[in-house]
Amino acid sequence: MKIAVIGQSLFGQEVYKELRKDGHTIVGVFTIPDKDGKADPLATEAEKDGVPVFKFPRWRVKGQAIPEVVDQYARTGAELNVLPFCSQFIPMEVINRPKHGSIIYHPSLLPRHRGASAINWTLIHGDQKGGFTVFWADDGLDTGPILLQRECHVDPDDTVNTIYKRFLFPEGVKGTVEAVKLIAEGKAPRITQPAEGATYECIQKKDNAKIDWNQTAEALHNWIRGNDKVPGAWAEVDGQKVTFYGSSLLDNGAAATGQPLEIPGASRPAVVTKSGLVLFGNDGKSLLVRNLQFEDGKMISAAQYFSSGSSAAVELTEEEGRFAEQMRAVWQSILSNVSCIEDATDFFKAGAASMDVVRLVEEVKLRASSCQLQNEDVYMNTTFQDFIQMCVRKLRGEDGEEELVVHYVEKDINNMSVKMPHQLFINGEFVDAEGGKTYKSINPTDGLPICEVSLAQISDVDKAVAAAKEAFEEGEWGKMNPRDRGRLIYRLADLMEEHQEELATIEAMDSGAVYTLALKTHVGMSIQTFRYFAGWCDKIQGSTIPINQARPNRNLTFTKKEPIGVCAIVIPWNYPLMMLAWKTAACLAAGNTVVLKPAQVTPLTALKFAELAARAGLPKGVVNILPGSGALVGQRLSDHPDVRKLGFTGSTEIGKQIMKSCAVSNVKKVSLELGGKSPLIIFSDCDMDKAVRMGMSSVFFNKGENCIAAGRLFVEETIHDQFVKKVVEEVKKMKIGDPLDRSTDHGPQNHKAHLDKLVEYCQTGVKEGATLVCGGRQVQRAGFFFEPTVFTDVRDQMFIAREESFGPVMIISKFKSGEVDQVLRRANDTEYGLASGVFTRDISKALYVSEKLNAGTVFINTYNKTDVAAPFGGFKQSGFGKDLGQEALNEYLKTKAVTIEY
């Protein structure tokens, strides 16, 4: 079919391209004249293909068609006119001339909204349904018969831009091309538009877009989003015309903390907050506006209303100067009509359009990947000088974001000055708990307070969850390119490495971890974990699945892996930072947001982590840290309806309670890493020196405060006495003392209550008749020190043979030579199944034992060898779900199956 395309814009360009792909002959393209020396995209595309292009400034004068224009059109011999997007009035002599007439794309479900601003009115009226129409042109205003319609749901915070990008543009192109296909096949309907329900509202011009404040918050929101970006809803503020952009409704009763701003006619003063400008309707409800534009065209973040223009220009370094010149060349290539790009050159006044904004943002990414711009950044910095200043500030990490305010507790210790945040971290800020409630964090080395820490209350939990939910659903984190998300997580790992000595010192003070171990494992593995999962961000993918039973069998099924949403993480006190990293890194890599409760007795590295996360550039609300009690904070997270996943490491008893609460509340997804009584079987054909060394590590590593610690050693009787003797000799060499002393082997237990339980545990073992070979006592000094302890002659039914000590207590039992299956039955005779181990030189025996041991991890001729790439988790009452490795991502993802019939 011979088609004349009459229109303009990228939309017109895409329709033109698709029509050519379908084999139609485009006999002419009629578009608007060049603007500021730049051709319209439709004209550019057609000229490239050698198609005749006509750029009439107008088609009629004083209501009469211009004969020469109509004559030039007529010579194309078009059989159909397609008007994909047309801002000019086309005379009926042209509309009716082709044998198939003319069809027009219209961004509305006719006749609901007619006119050039139909899509604006869809939003202004708060319609929940929108869409587009392809109709047959007549001499009325969008009143011709309907050929084809497609509809979509309109979300409460949709704007013209979002609904256009999501539906009206891509589906509109397809719909227009499909309409042409129906015409070519002789199947195109002509459905007369009903008079009932038909509207024709005015074209939205700037003068008509003034805000009437005597409306509800929802009506105000609809008016602002309906006029965003053109023509822009405005009001008089401080004697000047200010235009409002980026509106969203706020929850009822949302507190607005900030500086009041009087707006004439408003029911109450607006509030300039850290998130933007909060406005109020006459119903007392509120909405948030994120950007403002002044009469001179300058756009700012609404949060900066009282501080805009106050920052001085930054002086560029030599490298930044080279970047500026690269960007000057980019501007020159985009604004080809401008002879020279000066500092005062205005991007839009020089003729740039919305597509040029997209190109500019992408050009910046190519030259400086760490400078992640949004389209709004260009709109708010329209001159070249302002644009470069904005880019440089972003590259320096000084991009106008409000400076992170941290009230540190500072200590000069371990040959350094340690700075420790001690408040809750909610929505990107360190804040006091409700009512200013605090508690003391105690140093287990001397039993003295380190500092006062904010104690989270239920209302604080609700605020943190709300912040995490908004960051996931509305914030940039949920919309961020996975690769960019990975870069931020990797930047966080870099910052942790820069602060590794400080983190290890805080860990030693707060948990009693030996500094050298904290540096290598507590902190070192945490850094490795974040780096590992940063690499997974852009590699999360689903699969395609053949479905064979469906009829007809032209089907395609594929799966998508999607983030869950707000995730709660509750971690224990033995590895405060590492347990945070194991769960949080996978959670963030999957695209979720997190509310994390550290153990009440060890909150300080989690709070330091929060500071580093903010400085790495993680958006507000993505990470929230709430020190507090498990009974209050942990329980509220388990019960909260907006939390969709909870990851927990801790005791089996608490894990059961959490699982029940998660089920009753909203059936939230759960992963549990719980208690352990891990068996270690040592055969007589082992490497004795290695078995002694690794056997001691399996029990005494990290003071025995280790979830996978070997809770019971089964030693073959022929080497039992020799093994015990060697262990005792090594135990007596261990130095107990200050964890910051580099020669210390064994630091204090984490807290007083745990120390008391260890004393009671060992007393029970003695009462039951086990032989206490060494240790078993509290060390008489300031702090919570307990001796490395060894028990032998332990029978299977004893308390200490079945219950976890979670401390430096080695439990040794004999087994007879040749009784492999019997010792396996004894090793598996426990409700726990977290880890296990075997020492033997016989590889067949080792593999047989590893197959029969009922535990999530089996170590052969080694122990405690965890790695960020290897999944970690237990069986039975040691829990379910995995930390680390690719499998950990599945704990924080949901799988969606999509089936298409074609």
Which structure tokens are listed for 895? 């799988």
The verdict on whether residue 805 carries a ligand-binding annotation is yes
Which of 451, 707, 720, 754 does the annotation list as catalytic?
707
Q: Is 573 annotated as a binding residue?
A: yes
Distances (CA, A) of 872 to 199, 647, 878: 63, 13, 11
Residue entry with tokens 């980019």? 330
Identify the CA nearest to 614 among candidates 400, 461, 484, 429: 429
Exposure letters 566-582 (e unless 16+ CB within 10 A, then b): bbbbbbbbbbbbbbbbb
> Cα separation of 693 and 729, whole Å?
11
632 is in an annotated binding site: yes
Type and span of the H or E element at 270: strand 270-272
| 142 known member of a binding site | yes
Which entry of 24, 106, 422, 522 is annotated as an active-site residue?
Answer: 106
Residue 886 labeled ligand binder: no
Say whether 695 sits in a helix, a strand or coil.
Answer: helix
Return the C-alpha torsion angle 862, 532, 745, 513, nearest 10: -130
Q: Which residues contact 328 (CB under 8 A, 6 or more apart)?
A: 341, 384
- Catalytic residue, chosen from 79, 429, 673, 705, is 673
Q: Computed from CA positions of residues 109, 112, 118, 122, in that sequence, does the dihedral angle turn out positive or negative?
A: negative
633 carries a ligand binding annotation: yes
Q: What are the angstrom distances between the C-alpha of 197 and each of 111, 140, 200, 806?
A: 7, 17, 10, 73
CA-wise closest residue to 701 among 857, 864, 516, 572 = 864
Give the ranges where 752-834 is alpha helix by DSSP (H).
752-767, 799-802, 820-828
Q: Where are the alpha helices (DSSP H) in 252-374?
A: 318-334, 354-367
Asked whether residue 546 is marked as a ligand-binding residue, the answer is no
Q: Is 571 marked within a binding site?
A: yes
CA distance 123 to 395: 37
d(CA 384, CA 392): 12
φ/ψ bin of 96: left (φ > 0), alpha (ψ from -120 to 50), beta (otherwise):
alpha
* Annotation marks residue 707 as catalytic: yes
Query: How are beta strands 623-625 and 2-6 bridged, if at all?
Result: unpaired
| 409 assigned binding-site residue | no
Query: Does the annotation list 650 as a binding residue?
Result: yes
Q: 90 labelled as ligand-binding?
A: yes
Q: What is the C-alpha separation between 27 and 4, in angstroms, rounded?
A: 6
757 in a known ligand binding site: yes
Cα–Cα nearest to 125, from 234, 244, 199, 226:
226
Q: Are strands 857-860 and 835-839 parallel, antiparallel or unpaired?
A: parallel
420, β-bridge pairs = 409
- Was 599 annotated as part of a binding site? yes
Residue with tokens 């490497």: 687
333 labeled binding residue = no
Structure tokens at 698: 């399996």
Backbone angles phi, psi at 84, to 5 degrees: -75, -40
Full DSSP string of 31-90 = -PPPBTTB--HHHHHHHHHT--EE--S-SEETTEE-HHHHHHHHTT--SEEEESS--SPP
Strand, helix or coil for residue 645: strand
Other Cβ atoms less than 10 A from the Cβ of 336: the count is: 11
| Pairwise CA distance, residues 455 & 600, whole Å | 9
Residue with tokens 């540096």: 519
* DSSP 8-class letter at 315: P
Would you say 865 is a known binding-site residue? no
- Picking from 18, 140, 3, the residue whose alpha carbon sits closest to that of residue 82 is 3
CB 243 within 8 A of CB 293: yes
Q: How far apart are CA 69 and CA 115, in angstroms?
A: 25
φ/ψ (deg, to 5) at 324: -60, -40
Known catalytic membership, residue 673: yes
**Does 107 carry a binding-site annotation?**
no
Judge whether 600 is annotated as a binding position.
Answer: yes
Using only the alpha carbons of the chain, give its radius of gyration: 34
Strand (E) or helix (H) holding 545: strand 544-545
- Say if residue 788 carries a ligand binding annotation: no
Q: How many residues does the structure list for the chain? A: 902
* 149 labelled ligand-binding: no
Q: Which residues fall in the annotated binding site?
A: 88-90, 142, 571-573, 597-600, 630-635, 650-651, 757, 804-806
Q: Which residues fall in the annotated binding site for NADP(+)?
A: 571-573, 597-600, 630-635, 650-651, 757, 804-806
Q: Which residues fall in the annotated binding site for (6R)-10-formyltetrahydrofolate?
A: 88-90, 142
Question: Which residues are catalytically annotated?
Answer: 106, 673, 707
